[in-house]
A = this chain, B = another copy of it.
Amino acid sequence: MSESTSPYDVLVIGAGYAGLTAMHELRKAGKNVLLLEARDRVGGRVWTKRFDDGAYVDLGGAWIGPTQDRLYALAREFGVETFKTYDEGKSTQFFRGQVKRYKGLIPPLPIGSLLSLDAAIKKMNKLSKTVNLAEPWSTPNAGQLDSMTLATWMNQQMSFDVARQFFKVAAEAIWAADPAEISMLHALFYTKSCRDLDTLMNIKNGAQEERFAGGAQTIADRLAATFSDRIIFNEPVKAITQDGEQVSVITKTKTYQAKRVIVTVPPALQNRIDFQPLLPAQRAQLIQRMPMGSVWKCYAIYDKPFWREQGLNGLAATPDGHVTVTFDTSPKDGSQGIMMGFVLGNQAKEFSGLSDEDRKLSALHSFATFFGQEALKPVRYFDHSFMDEEWSRGCYAGLMGPNVWTTLGSSLRTPVGRIHWAGTETSDIWNGYIDGAVRSGERAAKEVMH
């Protein structure tokens, strides 16, 4: 192990959007900074896979929408164009063996279920307004809300099984987790953090409204290019030690020294770093209690977006099978047809137990059910899960089960000596999203400069 001689103002750990943004802000302020990244690329849970023929797909974070202002600002700054997610024509619902097409936001459900579903969404939106975003544990009735799962609340609110099933499909798509895994308080926090459930679910006026020309990693690539001499790749951090004077970040081969460090890796992975002195008990217990969500993205690439010719927008939703939600993720010019299917929550955990071939069969079978037999013959199929990635171990984000926010939430952003915490999980606005990561990087940069 060799000793690094440069003493940095700030070391940033993790080159996802949180870490890149922190670097960007600190460099603007003239700080001497260095970014350590375990992977061989930037972007973290945003990863654009590019094919030789020019096609590209986003394996992680992919969309941008209204009120994601900090991410829009970065896109503008780095000249990355955004474009509308394809949303023309009818949506598809598959339920009890039947395919139904419908226009607009109201799915073709029996009227009782539809009203029940609508009432639950409205009630959750209303309840979410009571959340104290900066201190969720100070929300009125926080203890009660944090003692139950979202699933329990759903059971209390919706007597119609069908309503619950479709609420569950939406919840899984929002959190990449089963409603049984999430604290009701966390669900409300997250909902308000991202404006409301409608924003979370929708394309138009919602979190899926736009995409990035060249893929969601493009901003990250361009941002990183402005300080490529300040990034060390393939450099996982093994240990962080600190005393009253400075902090040392230890990797397999080197020790880096600085006045401050910003850790952006997801809470569940922070346990992999040896902290000396040890993290305080409350923070140690917190990071045992923020598991990563569970999701696969399944991509089928076709010569053309054939569903468009049938007047379909490529959106499908179903409570059955592995793939429960789909999106048209074709390139802007529609020169290819790219169908993306989400496998979410408990289905994602199950999907991880299947062979490559069985996963492909299952996903293509779902696509064919929704959009016709043409879906069975893609030019190319592949799927990906961040659960299999050593430096993420899940997506979209670390989640709070019951009893976490109210008892350990105050440790989430509180610095530990010279160690500061960033990452989308620490953001009170667009928590779990790229925009939240950007905001957390900006906040952490301000914090260390203070």
Contact = CB atoms under 8 A, between A and B. Distances in A.
Contacts of A422: none
A280 interface: yes
Contact of A147 (B149, B289, B353, B403): B149
Contacts of A149: 147-149, 152, 402-403
Interface in A395-436: 401-404, 406-408
A268 B292 contact: no
A387 B148 contact: no
A288 interface: yes
A168 to B, nearest CB: 10
Contacts of A148: 148-149, 151-152, 180
B288 A181 contact: no
B181 A402 contact: yes
Given A272-B272, A285-B291, A280 B151 contact: no
A320 to B, nearest CB: 16
Interface in A276-292: 278, 280-282, 284-285, 288-292
Contacts of A407: 178, 346, 349-350
Contact of A278 (B152, B271, B388, B401): B388
A390 interface: yes
Given A180-B146, A180-B402, A180-B403, A285 B152 contact: no
Copies of this chain in its oligomeric complex: 2
A285 B387 contact: yes
A211 B351 CA distance: 47
A202 to B, nearest CB: 27
A60 B407 CA distance: 23
A163 to B, nearest CB: 16
B388 A281 contact: yes
A297 to B, nearest CB: 14
Given A147-B151, A180-B147, A403-B180, A352 B289 contact: no
Interface string A285-307: 10011111010000000000000
Interface of A: 146-149, 151-152, 155, 178-181, 268-269, 271-272, 274, 278, 280-282, 284-285, 288-292, 294, 346, 349-350, 352-353, 385, 387-388, 390, 393-394, 401-404, 406-408
Q: Can you list the 3 inter-chain pairs with the closest CB atoms, starting with the nearest?
A: A147-B180, A281-B387, A288-B291
26 contacts: A147-B151, A147-B155, A147-B180, A148-B149, A148-B152, A149-B152, A149-B403, A151-B402, A152-B152, A178-B407, A180-B403, A181-B401, A181-B402, A268-B271, A272-B272, A280-B352, A281-B385, A281-B388, A282-B352, A284-B387, A285-B292, A285-B387, A288-B292, A288-B393, A346-B406, A350-B407
